[in-house]
Amino acid sequence: MATITASITLASPDLISNALAFTSTTNLSTAGTSTGISNTAGLARKTTESASQYILFDGDAYGNGAHKIYLKNTETNAALYFTIEINSEQMGKLYAGDWAFFPWEANADTNDIKITPSTSASHTLEYMLFFE
């Protein structure tokens, strides 16, 4: 099985009274096991040309499992963002340079991951799905 390790490091010299610095690391595993996740949809980019909503991942296509999603807004213009939605619930917005990594259980067609660009100007989102 594949071994996929995810890490995050947060650091700031002045966010709190003392310097902030920590790292967290985990191996991505299938649901309820220590077996590594072995499937990926591959690293890809979606460039949008309208302010319409797009389905990035169809919930009906992946089923239950310990899936993980990586998203990154590759734009440099701070005004250009993507709204991220799952099952018609807004998760939040990814502004220029922002990224997200989160779990996803795609157990129904209603659990689609959708993105909506902030404007009809060209926006590019980098994305990857790790799934069982």
Please tell me which of 19-28, 61-70, 120-129 the model is most confident about, judged by mean pLDDT. 120-129
How many structural domains compose the chain?
A: 1
Instruction: Provide the β-strand partners of residue 47.
Output: 124
Q: Is 21 a domain residue?
A: no
pTM of the predicted model over 0.85 = yes
Q: Is 45 a domain residue?
A: yes
pLDDT-derived band at 1 (thresholds 50, 70, 90) equals low
Asked whether residue 83 carries a pLDDT value surpassing 70, the answer given is yes
What are the pLDDT digits (tens) for 16-61?
888 889 899 999 999 989 899 988 988 999 999 999 999 999 988 8
Quote the tokens at residue 72: 């990154």
Domain range for 79 is 33-131
Q: Is 60 a domain residue?
A: yes
Tally of CB atoms within 10 A around 127 = 20
Residue bearing tokens 């060209």: 122
Q: Which is higher by pLDDT, 7 or 2? A: 7
Q: Fill in the amino acid letter for 19.
A: A
CATH code assigned at 119: 2.60.120.10
